[in-house]
Structure 1
Amino acid sequence: MSHTPDAEITLRFLAEPSDVNFGGNVHGGNVMKWIDHAGYTCAANWSSAYCVTVYVGGIRFLKPISVGDLVELKAELMHTGRTSMHISVSVHARNPRDRQRRFTTHCILVFVALGDDGKPVNVPTFEPISDQSKRLNAYAKRMIELREQLRAESQSFLDVMDG
């Protein structure tokens, strides 16, 4: 088996007229909501717990989504910490009358699993098996390092501004 079934999920639906902005394309805020739903579904499925979004990063809107397009969101677990899960969400769209899929959006999210008391709980460890899951895992680890560097830089900037 090339992947763990609980480590990914795919959602598919048609973009509706209520989803579009004044330019006739799906509003970016709607796409972000869909990404959060797909990510949450993947995180909750993996952890068997209620999860909260603690980080959204690197969202890229590459191509527009039109009303009536078949939208597909694939959420894949990338990496787990003790209580956190890094999830990659890719969005594709196509006119349902043809097979030409467009890669429209990508985003990385981090969720934390919570217990009934609202406190973080441990999640099962993710072990990447396929080449794709190994690439995603390595990418998540690089992003963790970069976020830590950014946090340190931001803190030193704030210290200078405060002093």
Structure 2
Amino acid sequence: MQKEYKSVEESQVVISELMLPSHSNFNGKIHGGYILSLLDQIAFACASKHSRAYCVTASVDTVDFLKPIEIGELVTMKASVNYIGRSSMVIGIRVEAENIQTGKVKHCNSSYITMVAKDDAGNSVEVPGLILKTDNQVRRFAKSIKRRKMKIKRSKEFHETDFLSDKYLHIEEEYKAKIQLDS
């Protein structure tokens, strides 16, 4: 029988990996796509650990690349469940890179990925609730609610069908754009 609620600590995952030349881009920095792949893997592990179910990536909500990662640095990713829906979980991930020669650690990336738990037939399944034990955990949960509301609003705006070009004439004045509509 699955627990009704789980603490954040019960599903936290930490991975570390040494960055190799094969992970770099043409500029000699670690390729962002490689980091995205690692983010997806740790989000899957964290969500699956919490839900005890197979999980799929529903959306990559935020990925903020803050500092470049160098070849030879030890990258550590720390993932935890920040928010729970019925079948969805927002996984917060902090990425740090350590220069293993100097010991200096830098915060390189913060990410939020929404995962959904599925059964063997591919149907969404309910996940355990989340026990919040610290102010930081409550803050992360509340911020996830706020990001979720903004995401819903953006989605509605994206799917607007009542486009009136006159409504957007300020674009030419405020941004580097010129509107030339074919009538």
Paired residues for 1:21-36 under 5 Å: 21-36=25-40
Q: What residue ranges of structure 2 are gaps of 5+ in the alignment? A: 1-6, 165-183
Q: Which amino acid aligns with 2:154?
A: L
Contact 1:79–1:87 (CA under 8 A) maintained in structure 2: yes
Larger Rg: 2
Match of 1:82 in 2: 86
> For 1:127 and 1:75, how far apart are their aligned partners in 2?
16
Quick check: 1:11 aligned with 2:15? yes
Q: Deviations over 1:51-74 (max 9, x none)?
A: 000010221111111111010001
Which residue of 2 is the match for residue 128 of structure 1? 132
Residues 43-98 of structure 1: per-residue CA shift (max 9 Å, x gap)? 01000111000010221111111111010001111010110000111100011122
Match of 2:67 in 1: 63
- Letter of the structure 1 residue corresponding to residue 163 of structure 2: V
Partner of 1:160: 163
Residues 76-128 of structure 1, C-alpha deviation per residue, up to 9 Å, x if partnerless? 11010110000111100011122211110111100000001111111001121
Please say if residues 6 and 42 of structure 1, whose CA atoms lie closer than 8 Å, have aligned partners that are also in contact.
no
CA distance in 1, matches of 2:123, 2:15: 29
Look up the equivalent residue of 1:141 and give its one-letter code: I
Q: TM-score, normalized by length of structure 2?
A: 0.82
Unaligned runs of 5+ in 1: none
Deviates more, 1:42-51 or 1:146-155: 146-155
Native 8 Å contact 1:14 1:71 kept in 2:
yes
Look up the SS of the partner of 2:131 in the other structure. Answer: coil
In 2: Cα distance, 1:33 partner to 1:112 partner: 17
Distance (Å, rounded) in 1 between the aligned partners of 2:83 and 2:102 = 35
CA contact (8 A) 1:85 1:110 kept: yes
| 3-state SS in 1 of match to 2:76 | strand
Q: Alignment identity in percent?
A: 31
The TM-score, its normalising length taken from structure 1, stands at: 0.92
The secondary structure found in structure 2 opposite 1:142 is: helix
| Correspondence 1:94-109 to 2 at 5 A | 94-109=98-113
